[in-house]
Every structure is written in structure tokens, then in C-alpha cells.
Structure 1
């Protein structure tokens, strides 16, 4: 009889240990199959697409990098020229290599908000107008995850307290039976 009580308590202790291991808990939007996320904040970006072209722009401080591809097969567009309107600014990005990458440097950092983007693309006989928006509000909610990080620990503490209460109650019952 004592052997079965020991085994039962040991199983309860093992279950509590597993419940208290935060590495095993999967939070909202978390998957153990997903690749690890890159460290640091995501850079602001915009996306504009037409029947012929697809353009992605990434802003890092005052540096704007643009990636231009053919929409049909995702091949980089070579020998293209771009005319960019970023809100009130008019820029002519310069090619950076031959792989559809362009760069432009802003005179000053952009102010937060949603900024309309219009790009005229000319590549050989093709010409197109692409439109999108650059949203510089992306980091407003960056602290939400940190504010909620205490909840799994609180749940673990409650589980541990309940488990300890069960163990103490079983121990008291056993000592009462043995006496």
C-alpha cells in the first residue's frame, strides 16, 4: 500500500514539474515548428504591385532600399528607372547592382504616420505606376508582449501552490492513518 502511495505522489510531483517548465508552454501565435524570429525590431516597409511589377521598399533611418521584381515570376527587373514620391518627397532611386535593387537616401528622417507611396517604373518598353503606403506606427505596440509575459509565471505559481496544498493534505492524511 505504501508503495502505491509513493508512486502516486511521485507522478503528481512529475506533473507539477512539467507544468512549471515555461519552455514547454506555447503562447499565443507561438509554434515550436516555426523558425526562430530575427532579433530586433522589424524595419518599416511598404509593398506595391501591378500586373507587371512588384516593389518592396525597406526604410532604415534615412536609407531607403527598394527591390523590384517581375510580378509574374519574381525575377529581378534589370535596367529599370524609378521615380518615387514618398509623401511630399520626390526621389530618383539609383540602381544598386543588377539584381533589381535600388537605393535612395532621405534628407531627413520621416515623421510617424501613414505615408502614401507612388512609384513610376520604366523598364525597356514597359512602364507602370505602383502605389502603396508606408506605415511608421509599427512599433507602438511593441511593449504589449512584455506586459503580458508575467501571466505564465503567475499561472505556474498557482499550479505549484495547489500542488503543494495537495501534497501537504496527503501527507497529513497518511500521518493520521499511521498514528
Structure 2
């Protein structure tokens, strides 16, 4: 197998894997305040979201019917303590209480049903108040359903990339001299 053919196959594989991993969502690193937690923990990652404003950074974690917020000061990255925190999740208004470990938590009245859930967080910390709005991408609503449509789109994309790669590979005898001719014309202009 020659070099160009291997390169085209490798490029197609990289593009396929990139397209397949588009749906990954990760909250900001180091926002869980739990220094004792093992770095390589085994288990299912809980759904989460990240939001920030000029004053605060917030990571929200959903643990079944419980929501936990980790709130830091934006400039110092120190946890916010003894604040009044309210959250509005798609119409559910919840007053969160401070829990041990610099966490604010409260129960959800009902499960989140939509794929895109609007989130509004109100933080009152002494004389300072802030409202942070974001959208939670709820990927766990349809986690039991297999998405044939996504597989079909990825398969079509891979086939199109392979067809384009094969077309360029089969016409390389015509394309390379044309590119060399254009490069020579550009070089002659200087």
C-alpha cells in the first residue's frame, strides 16, 4: 500500500472518530471541591453542566432526584460559603441549602424531560447578588434508545469521505501536475 493511500485512509478514520465523539460534554476540571476523591474512580459519570459569570463559576451535578451545585468565586477560585442559592430548572424553582463540603443541594420535584433544559441560578452572597443563566444539554433522557439516525449519518459521512478520497487517489496523475503547474506560475510571478 503506498504512502498516499495510507494517508487518505488514516485521515478518513480520524474524521470518522472526530464526528463520532462530538456529543461529549465535560464540565470544567477541578470544580468538585472533593480533595479526598480518587482521581481514577470507576462508575457512571453523572450528568452535569457548567456556567460562569464575572463573579462566580458554577458546576451543577444531577444525582437522580438531587441537584448539587459547586460554586466558586471567579477570580480566586475559592468556594462560596453561606450564600442564598436558588435555581430554576425548566420551571422547577428550588431553594438550595448548603451541605458539608462547600456544596449547595436540593431535591428535584420531577425528572427533567427535555433535551435542552434552561437553567437560571440566583446567588445572594452578603451584599452581592448575581444571576447566571445557561442551558443544560440533557443527554441522559434518551440514553436507552439506540440512535439509528446518528449511525446512518456517520455511515453516509464515512462513505462520502472514502468516495472523495478514492476520487482524488484515482486522479492523482492528473491533479499533481496541475498543482505543480500552478505553483510554477506563482513562483514565476515573483
The normalised TM-score by structure 2 is 0.51
Which residue does 1:90 correspond to in 2? 93
Runs of 4+ in 1 over 4 A off after TM superposition: 138-144
Which residue does 1:131 correspond to in 2? 133
Aligned residue among 81, 84, 96 for 2:84:
81
| Runs (5+) with no aligned partner, structure 1 | 1-27, 30-35, 148-179
2:92 and 2:109 in contact (8 A); partners too: no
CA distance in 2, matches of 1:85, 1:108: 13
CA distance in 1, matches of 2:54, 2:66: 27
In the TM superposition, residue 112 of structure 1 has moved relative to its aligned partner by 4.2
Task: Give runs of aligned pairs for residues 25-64 of structure 1, distance below 5 A.
Answer: 38-64=41-67
CA distance in 2, matches of 1:131, 1:41: 27
CA offsets 1:34-84 (integer angstroms, 9 cap, x no match): xx8543332111111111111111001101111111011210011101111
CA distance in 1, matches of 2:136, 2:97: 20
Which residue does 1:14 correspond to in 2? none
User: Alpha carbon RMSD of aligned pairs, Å?
Assistant: 2.7
1:65 and 1:102 in contact (8 A); partners too: yes
